[in-house]
Structure 1
Amino acid sequence: MVPLSFANEEMALAEHRALYWPRENALLVADLHLEKASFFARSGQLLPPYDSRETLERLALAIRRTGARRVFALGDNFHDREGTERLEPHAAGMLAALTRAVDWVWITGNHDADAAGACGGTVCEEAEVGPVVLRHRAEKDGDRPEISGHYHPKLVVSARGRRIARACAVRSESRMILPAFGALTGGMDASDPAILSAMQPARAIDALVPSSRRVLEYPLWRAAA
């Protein structure tokens, strides 16, 4: 884990795409998009049908390594409303075991509504934890610190003629957008106007990429002096 600070709280990026909050002993993940492969398979786009299993294995590892006793899944937990019905038995068993093992909260997203509630845990549109509001999509009018998902941010850079993209978090003084945790999730350039707009008002917006020992901060936007 690599430490970072947000809303005067000490946190850490875990397994590159999850956020661990030690004071709350909570793990935050966004955009699992479980059963995305099976969704596309219905229209003839055949993808390896193991995305849910891979995502849940990585999530179980993050829980084990952090020791988290609470999990907040920040929306788009399944790729569509019928995703829970398509879970193959092994993945369904993994998910059931996880939701029994920890205090699990599903925050609803635009893809899955409240479908994930059938898998255990509790369901809500947003949650207030300490000084922070947890929701799926950033709300520019909010006046409290906020952590969300939805945009699947990736830092995109060019080096030696190559274009490199890496999942990242995006942080301002009062908002943080987490990267997508799911195995088959794509991404949006963290400097895309849609993301920068969602982070306003802000004095500075940075992409956060974990290295082996610390979080690397890449400036995305600065307010005019």
Structure 2
Amino acid sequence: MNGYSFTFAGLQLEALRSGALWWEAESVLCVSDLHLGKSERMARRGGPMLPPYEVRDTLIRLEDDLTAKAPQTVICLGDSFDDLAAADALSDEMTAWLATLMAGRRWIWIEGNHDAGPVGLGGTHLSSFRAGPLSFRHIAEPGEKHEISGHYHPKAKVLTRARNVTRPCFLTDETRVIMPAYGTYTGGLHSHDAALAGLMSPGATAILLSDPPVRVPMPR
């Protein structure tokens, strides 16, 4: 089992262990916050030098999900690249690989705060996207209903076997789903942070990216 099925807005969705969201009825795979090119961007700006393998690692996992689910539509919920210069700096090999993954599918790039604006990789570029009752955008908007978003890279700390364990997670309530970051070099914001606690209802839950994924009350 590599996912956790749950109902949202009357729809059956599956939170995959990879951090992707699968909507089988519409053949939609959604991923958020790939942050491709983060190591290049950090080196360019004089930050810590990270091993330059995160693009390859992220695309390996994305290819695995695409192979397993064969979606007709892929939605990338913003911050797909660490900035626009990082997109331009992708190697020819990585650009060709990404183009191969996109081929034959409807591919929607949602604009994020790191990568606002189109990039020259094809696909459709939108600020938000609506499909059926669901609204897809990068950053959650208070008051929005049936919304799928990313941006915050949520993670949750839980007590297991007498020790604290922190895992990336989906946050869910009756109004929204906030997705974990999919990219390899991405940190996270604890679910008890005020920014997330203020967005999620008292009955919110967290789906931890464990093996298998586990749903628990959202740690506050």
Identify whether the pair has TM-score above 0.5, normalized to the shorter chain: yes
Residues in 2 aligned to 1:155 and 1:23: alpha-carbon distance in whole angstroms: 29
What is the alpha-carbon distance in structure 2 between the residues aligned to residue 160 and residue 145 of structure 1?
35
Runs of 4+ in 1 over 3 A off after TM superposition: 158-163, 210-213
Between 36-45 and 154-163, the greater mean CA deviation after superposition: 154-163
Asked whether the equivalents of residues 173 and 203 of structure 1 are also in contact (C-alpha less than 8 Å), the reply is no
Give the 5 Å matches for 1:1-225: 1-42=3-44, 43-115=46-118, 117-142=119-144, 144-159=145-160, 162-199=163-200, 202-209=201-208, 212=211, 215-220=213-218
CA distance in 2, matches of 1:114, 1:48: 27
Name the aligned partner's letter for residue 28 of structure 2.
A
AA aligned opposite 2:138: H
Instruction: Please give the secondary structure, in 2, of the residue aligned with 1:156.
Output: strand
1:185 CA displacement: 0.6
Q: TM-score scaled by structure 1?
A: 0.90
Change (3 A) 1:46 1:210: closer
Root-mean-square deviation over aligned CA pairs: 1.9
Within 1, Cα distance between the matches of 2:103 and 2:17? 22
Query: Which TM-score applies when normalising by structure 2?
Result: 0.92
Amino acid at match of 2:67: R
Give the whole-Å Cα distance in 2 for the aligned partners of 1:17 and 1:196. 20
The letter of the residue matching 2:206 is: A
How far apart are residue 198 of structure 1 and its match?
2.3
Q: 2:215 is aligned with what amino acid?
A: E
- Write the distance in 1 (CA, Å) between the matches of 2:16 and 2:202: 26
- Counterpart CA distance in 1 for 2:107 and 2:38 is 21
Unaligned 5+ runs, structure 2: none
Deviation, structure 1 residue 157: 2.4
Q: d(CA) in 2 for partners of 1:188 and 1:86?
A: 28
Q: Give percent identity, aligned residues only.
A: 38
Q: How far 1:66 sits from its partner (Å)?
A: 1.1
* Separation in structure 2 between the aligned mates of residue 161 and residue 2 of structure 1, nearest angstrom: 24
For the 8 Å contact 1:99–1:119, the answer to whether it is kept is: no
The answer to whether the Cα contact below 8 Å between 2:158 and 2:164 also exists between their aligned partners in 1 is yes
Per the alignment, in what secondary structure is the counterpart of residue 198 of structure 2? helix
Unpaired runs of at least 5, structure 1: none
Bigger shift: residues 91-100 or 156-165: 156-165
The structural deviation recorded for 1:141 is 2.3
* 1:189 Cα deviation from its structure 2 partner: 0.7
Alpha-carbon shift at residue 101 of structure 1 (Å): 3.1
